[in-house]
Amino acid sequence: MRAARETLTTLFEGAPRFIDRLAAMDAESWDDLFYQAEWTALTMPEGEQIELLNAHPRIGAAPATVSPTSYVEQGYDRDQGTAALQVRLDELNDKYEGRFGFRFVVFVNDRSRAEIADVMEDHMDADRTAEKMRALRDVILIARSRAKKLALEEA
């Protein structure tokens, strides 16, 4: 099975070099593709890892700048948030990116942006390598969740 580039872009928010790697794979199934994707994400050069992480929008990014999928995942369709929350998220994103050198990526899993802000604060003191590996694994969790939702929509 070869996944379509358009589908991979939706699942992984772009990241051209990562998408190129996945598009070249001949996976036996979606599970196999995600297994290979995780291994690839964790072992590819750091520049490509950061490109993959930075392909995801910031938590709290301007709604008009995020993909339709991220828009729903971040809850903009349910709660626009407050100005105070936006200031907090902007400050946390700046601090996190300054400390680690890549965007904070987490599997939102129906948590509000306010809850995710608390999660982001909890990660500020993490070891950089461990945090990068956690974030890359969450990219795969996000993609798996998106794939399940796409399959449900097609049924």
What pLDDT, on the 0 to 100 scale, is given for residue 89? 94
What pLDDT, on the 0 to 100 scale, is given for residue 14? 87
What pLDDT, on the 0 to 100 scale, is given for residue 155? 43
CATH hierarchy code of domain 5-154: 1.10.3330.10
Dihedral-angle region of residue 61 (phi above 0 means left; psi in -120 to 50 means alpha; beta otherwise) = beta
Residue of 147, 95, 85 lying closest to 104 (CA atoms): 95
pLDDT below 50 — which residues of the chain?
Answer: 155
Domain map of the chain by residue range? 5-154
Q: Which residue has the tokens 């990660």?
A: 123
pLDDT digit string, tens, across residues 53-82: 999 999 888 888 888 888 788 777 677 778
CA distance 57 to 113: 13
